[in-house]
Amino acid sequence: MFIYEKKLQYPVKIATPNPKLAAVIISQYGGPDGELGASLRYLSQRYSMPYAELKGLLTDIGTEELGHLEMIGAIVHQLTRNLSEEDIKKCGFDAYFVDHTAGVYPTAASGFPWNAASMAVKGDVIADLTEDLAADATTAKEQPPFQKARKPLI
């Protein structure tokens, strides 16, 4: 059972819209390693977990990921609210805007919509937990050296 508190775990208060930044952050919402996939991954993998403590842990993590999904959605919404036509075009947000206006839609930054094929639920403890580690590693603070050398997107 889930209990929903009608507030974000960490309040999101973005004063200045930035559609260019939103176009990148949207991947954390619905990209292949985003919060939507993470929540469904953990909440689905819990059923085949043979250890009660770990089943509970997967449930807790999946629920936490739903909270992250809500915060990322709030960030994207606030970054794209009240945009002018000029802002939309100038920042390259027009392709997204044509299909979704300023709605928060689960998609990767590349434009591919979220798809369950980006997550694995094998029913094998080792395979599932290894997949969890691989997906979470893409969002870890410490990035591989080749990624640190890149210039910022924004």
pTM: predicted TM-score of the whole model, two decimal places: 0.81
Exposed, middle or buried: residue 34 (CB in 10 Å: 0-12, 13-18, 19+)?
Answer: buried
* Domains within the chain, CATH numbers bracketed: 19-148 (1.20.1260.10)
8 Å CB contact between 91 and 19: yes
**Residue found by looking up tokens 């619905």 in the block:** 30
Q: Which of helix, strand or coil describes residue 19?
A: helix
Q: What is the pLDDT of residues 4-56, one digit of tens each?
A: 888 888 899 999 999 989 999 999 999 988 999 999 999 999 999 999 999 99
Q: What is the pLDDT of residues 90-129, one digit of tens each?
A: 888 888 889 998 899 999 988 899 999 888 888 899 988 8
Q: What is the pLDDT of residues 66-95, one digit of tens each?
A: 999 999 999 999 999 998 888 888 888 888
